[in-house]
Amino acid sequence: MQELFRLNGTFYRIMMKVWSLMVLNLLMIITSLPIVTIGASQAAAFAVTTRIITQGETRIVSTYLEVFKKRFKQSTIAWLGILLISSILITNWLYLATFNQLDSWMTIGVAIVTLIVINYMQFIFYYLSRYDDSLKQASLNTLKLAINYPLTSSLLMLAFCLPFVLMLLSNYLFVFGIYISMFLGLSFIHFLRTFLLLAFFKRFENSTISHN
């Protein structure tokens, strides 16, 4: 029992991670408030959660701000592009639903583009947090990954979309989700997604090295 509560014990390590995620959650909320900076906050948060997992990172604020500044331009451009295309897709979906065209061929095209955008959004900010490629190269590589690894992409998409879907099931879950997101929810989901993305990208990197 004493081992559990020692400074290097299991309870201490868990609470340190919880505290780190709470600090990260606050940083994500503050830096996402201008809306246009959400991309940079995503990239910075991925960098922090990756280091928490791989290195036991405790310098949450300094690491976050460093990556936020470093990846600000690329991440913001990517995010604004996502917002623009998403607004067009939403308009198309509303048109199809309003005029009862959901069984038309146009729906298939809109659905395909929607899946591409979701896949791009779930990969691009992690990619930018991990590599020093240009935004063009990063975008091409993330789209290739989504196409070449459909099963992994589907699993990541489920992890990305499931929390939002659950929140829409009832008013209680929606309010609960908003409340939890204020303290720990955003960073915790980010933490879980990082586990999946880190394993995926490490496998991709090892595959690339072996082929070289």
Question: In this predicted model, what pLDDT tens digit does every residue of 84-108 receive, in sequence order?
Answer: 999 999 999 999 888 888 888 889 9
- In the chain, the percentage of residues whose pLDDT exceeds 90 is 43
Is the pLDDT reported for residue 40 higher than 90?
A: yes
Is the pLDDT reported for residue 208 higher than 60?
A: no
Average of pLDDT values for 67-94?
95
Average of pLDDT values for 124-143?
92
Is the pLDDT reported for residue 211 higher than 50?
A: no
Q: What is the pLDDT of residues 168-203, one digit of tens each?
A: 888 888 888 888 888 888 898 889 889 888 888 887
Whole-number pLDDT of residue 209 = 42
Average of pLDDT values for 39-51?
95
Is the pLDDT reported for residue 210 higher than 50?
A: no
The pTM for the full model equals 0.87
| Residue indicated by tokens 């991670």 | 17
| Residue indicated by tokens 């209680």 | 172
* Averaged confidence pLDDT in the chain: 86
Residues in the chain: 212
- CB contact burial 38-71 (16+ within 10 A = b; e otherwise): bbbbbbbbbbbbbbbeeeebeebeebbeebbebb
Tokens (6 digits) for 71: 């990846």
Whole-number pLDDT of residue 89 = 94
- In the chain, the percentage of residues whose pLDDT exceeds 70 is 92
Average of pLDDT values for 115-131?
91
Q: Which of 128, 149, 146 is closest to 137 using CA atoms? A: 128
Is the pLDDT reported for residue 5 higher than 60?
A: no
